[in-house]
Amino acid sequence: MNLKDFSKKIGVNSSTISRALNNYPDISQKTKDTIIKLAKKFDYKPNKSAQFIGSIKTSTNFKILIADKISESSYKVFKSNNISFDKKFNLTEGQLVDIISNYDGVVVRSSTKITKKIIEKSKRLKVIARAGVGVDNVDVKTATSKGVIVMNSPQSTSRTTAEHAISLIFSLARKIPFAHLSTINKKWEKELFKGIELKSKTVGLIGCGNIGSEVAKIARSLQMNVMVYDPYLSLERIESLDAEKSSLDEVLKFSDFVSLHLPIMNSTKNIIDSKKIKLMKKNIIDSKKIKLMKKTSYLINAARGGLINEDDLYIALSKKNIAGAALDVFENEPLINSRLHSLDNIILTPHLGASTAEAQDAASIQISNQISEFLKNGSIINSVNMSSISGSEKKLLGPYLDLTYKLGSFAGQLTENAIKAITIEYEGTASMVNQDLLTRNIIHNLLGSFIDNVNSINAIEIAKSRNIKISTLQNDQPSEYNTLIRVTLTTDRRSRSVAGSIFGGQSRIVEIKGIKIDAELGNFNVYLTNKDKVGVINNVTQILTKNKINIATFNLGRVSPQGEAIALIQTDQICDEPILNYLRKIKNVNQVKSIVI
């Protein structure tokens, strides 16, 4: 077999095969091992000409733009790696557009915005690095489409942000900012600023990832009670924090302090509105009771702006429905003109969560090391838009990466309960490729359906931190399919699986909950379970037609006639919640979910 035939046989270009078999440094060891294994399987032996195909040249003259102030220690990292840099702060979008093509990378904090216009203008930009966690100031979608890596340094600021949340709780409890303002105005109003102890009080955490967990630990050290609402965190993980697993309503009703630690996503935007505020502890007591006791609660947000409906919060604070609030983040920053400024029972800080010398230094050093490793060695660490993979390996594993992305995202969006275990089965040719990368891709996209700052690098560690057991099984003998990957989720309530295969280089869903189906996932999909009864499909199509939803594909599966059935419908438009509710009301329909890929 010659190189051309072998390349066609395994779907990998000749240059990649040659570089892998000749141990070129730009090919990962996993890819080399896979191609060597396939070469033995198909009895391919490279000839002399093939050994010289695909020689590479590695650029060593890298230059980056530091657009926001970072630690001085970072400059030493760049210098030690022979990476040149320019420090140019407070640049406008127009100024960045004019100079961005001079740089291979750009470093920002939260001030400078890297927009679509800037990214599209660049001719050599390879990496955008955020020294910190949030990447709201970077157009990640455009960067991805342009092949630019976006990376952050999420581990560097968890403790600092948690401490800021706790400091806001202290400030509310002891009314420190208000007492300070009164005292510098030459007043002495001790009785007016009588506070409360934190000992034995209850703090309710909405979301309990890295930062929320740190808040829980500090709160317990203060002898506070901790309630946690995080539907995706197992009971064991919450109990390991010496906290109580609770519903959202329970946290709001029974907490003295409610602290938010959530990402901003469609499912969490305005999670605190007027309806939820009404559930928080307040004076819902008649006049006689009010004379005997006074119950108060406070709301704290040091996570993301947009989690709280600020208009609803203003009304609640104005009417004293809750005692007070402390916000470090806002839907629109900087906070210039807001009704919140007029309130006397709110503390406002200008997004200081990660603003400590230690955190800033750690974030700067971490991100400078990541950039250096990427530019010099191609290592991708803490990327928010790409898995850890070289360009040549991506070509080899492209169809598998697409399939695992869709399986993980599909499984994650179906999940409504805390995950205890994830089992991934690889059958046929899927058992011969880079399973570590594929497993990370599945976990990344599965957890990414409900957790932010997850990527292929940290997905496994995040799963472990949530006490999620991950298992992989391999069977190199194909069964019904030449290649198959099955993902099974075990929650507190049930186990549920979804499996996929590859046909003609395209990903297909071939099994859901053990029920056979053959479906392609598009951008917008509706997943529906029902009893196999006459009229269900007709009613579904009528509702979608009535709401001007065009059906691209309609795929069905069932256990048996009159038994459990499933449908996976690909649509040209997204189905919003009102449409989904119409579908849920159809007789014999059990579950309806929107799946967006």
Predicted pLDDT at 284:
28
State whether CATH 3.10.450 applies to domain 3-52.
no
Tell me what the mean pLDDT of segment 424-437 comes to. Answer: 88
Sheet holding 298-301, edge to edge: 244-245, 225-229, 202-206, 257-260, 298-301, 324-327, 346-348
Predicted pLDDT at 85:
96
Predicted pLDDT at 436:
81
What CATH class has 391-596? alpha beta
Q: Which two tokens stand for residue 296?
A: 């108060």
Residue scoring higher pLDDT (514 or 41): 514
Tell me what the mean pLDDT of segment 265-284 comes to. Answer: 60
The per-residue pLDDT for range 46-70, each reduced to its tens digit, is 643 333 233 333 445 899 999 999 9
* CA–CA distance, 423 with 281 (Å, rounded to integer): 42
CB 75 within 8 A of CB 54: no
- The position carrying tokens 């060695």 is 377
Pairing verdict, β 589-596 and 524-531:
antiparallel
The per-residue pLDDT for range 221-243, each reduced to its tens digit, is 999 999 999 988 889 999 999 99
Predicted pLDDT at 207:
92
CB 151 within 8 A of CB 384: yes
Map residue 457 onto helix, strand or coil.
coil
Task: Work out the end-to-end distance of the chain between its first and last CA atoms, rounded to an integer number of angstroms.
Answer: 40
Pick the closest to residue 30 from 440, 423, 386, 427 (CA basis).
440
Q: Is the pLDDT of residue 194 over 90?
A: yes
**Tally of CB atoms within 10 A around 14:** 16
Distances (CA, A) of 247 to 244, 255, 257, 449: 10, 12, 15, 20
Distances (CA, A) of 301 to 27, 229, 281, 475, 484: 45, 15, 17, 48, 44
Q: Is the pLDDT of residue 362 over 80?
A: yes
Beta bridge partners of 165: none
Q: What's the pLDDT band for 4 if we cut at 50, 70, 90? A: low
**Highest mean pLDDT: which of 43-47, 278-282, 459-463?**
459-463
Predicted pLDDT at 584:
94
Q: Is the pLDDT of residue 193 over 70?
A: yes
Options 93, 333, 358, 461, the catalytic residue: 333
Q: Which two tokens stand for residue 11?
A: 């779907």
* CA–CA distance, 75 with 375 (Å, rounded to integer): 15
Q: What's the pLDDT band for 11 if we cut at 50, 70, 90? A: very low
Predicted pLDDT at 232:
83
341 is an active site residue: no
CB 499 within 8 A of CB 408: no
Q: What's the pLDDT band for 278 if we cut at 50, 70, 90? A: low
* CA–CA distance, 259 with 218 (Å, rounded to integer): 13
Options 130, 159, 261, 351, the catalytic residue: 351
DSSP per-residue codes, 336-369: -S-GGGG-SSEEE-SS-TT-SHHHHHHHHHHHHH
Options 164, 304, 466, 508, the catalytic residue: 304
Predicted pLDDT at 464:
86
Residues 6+ apart with CB under 8 A from 157: 132, 133, 353, 354, 359, 362, 363
The per-residue pLDDT for range 540-594, each reduced to its tens digit, is 999 999 999 999 999 999 999 999 999 999 998 888 888 999 999 999 999 999 8
What's the CATH number for 63-156+358-377?
Answer: 3.40.50.720
Q: Which helix (H) or strand (E) holds 206?
A: strand 202-206
Distances (CA, A) of 9 to 2, 4, 13, 438, 521: 11, 9, 10, 22, 27
Q: Which two tokens stand for residue 177?
A: 């900012």
Q: Is the pLDDT of residue 118 over 80?
A: yes
Predicted pLDDT at 18:
63
Q: What's the pLDDT band for 255 if we cut at 50, 70, 90? A: very high
Q: Is the pLDDT of residue 45 over 80?
A: no
Q: What's the pLDDT band for 394 if we cut at 50, 70, 90? A: low
Q: What's the pLDDT band for 143 if we cut at 50, 70, 90? A: confident
Q: Mean pLDDT, the chain, as a whole number?
A: 85
What's the burial of 235, exposed, middle or buried (CB within 10 Å: 0-12/13-18/19+)? Answer: middle
Distances (CA, A) of 215 to 164, 235, 354: 9, 18, 14
Predicted pLDDT at 458:
67
197 is an active site residue: no
Tell me what the mean pLDDT of segment 309-330 comes to. Answer: 91
Residue scoring higher pLDDT (230 or 275): 230
Tell me what the mean pLDDT of segment 356-373 comes to. Answer: 91
Helix pair angle (176-184, 158-174), 10° resolution:
60
Q: Is the pLDDT of residue 397 over 90?
A: no
Q: Which two tokens stand for residue 173?
A: 């409890």
* The CATH classification of domain 158-348, taken from the options 3.40.50.410, 3.40.50.1580, 3.30.1600.10, 3.40.50.720: 3.40.50.720
* CA–CA distance, 232 with 220 (Å, rounded to integer): 22
- The position carrying tokens 């976006």 is 150
CB 411 within 8 A of CB 446: yes
Residue scoring higher pLDDT (155 or 370): 370
Residue 388 CA from chain centroid, whole number: 16
Q: Is the pLDDT of residue 27 over 70?
A: no
Q: What residue spans define the domains of the chain?
A: 3-52, 63-156+358-377, 158-348, 391-596
- The position carrying tokens 């009304």 is 315
Residues 6+ apart with CB under 8 A from 71: 360, 361, 363, 364, 365
* CA–CA distance, 247 with 8 (Å, rounded to integer): 55
Predicted pLDDT at 28:
56
Give pairs for 79-87: CB < 8 Å, separation 24+: 81/372, 81/375, 81/376, 83/371, 83/372, 83/375, 83/376
- Do domains 63-156+358-377 and 158-348 share one topology? The answer is yes
Predicted pLDDT at 393:
61
351 is an active site residue: yes
Residue scoring higher pLDDT (202 or 275): 202
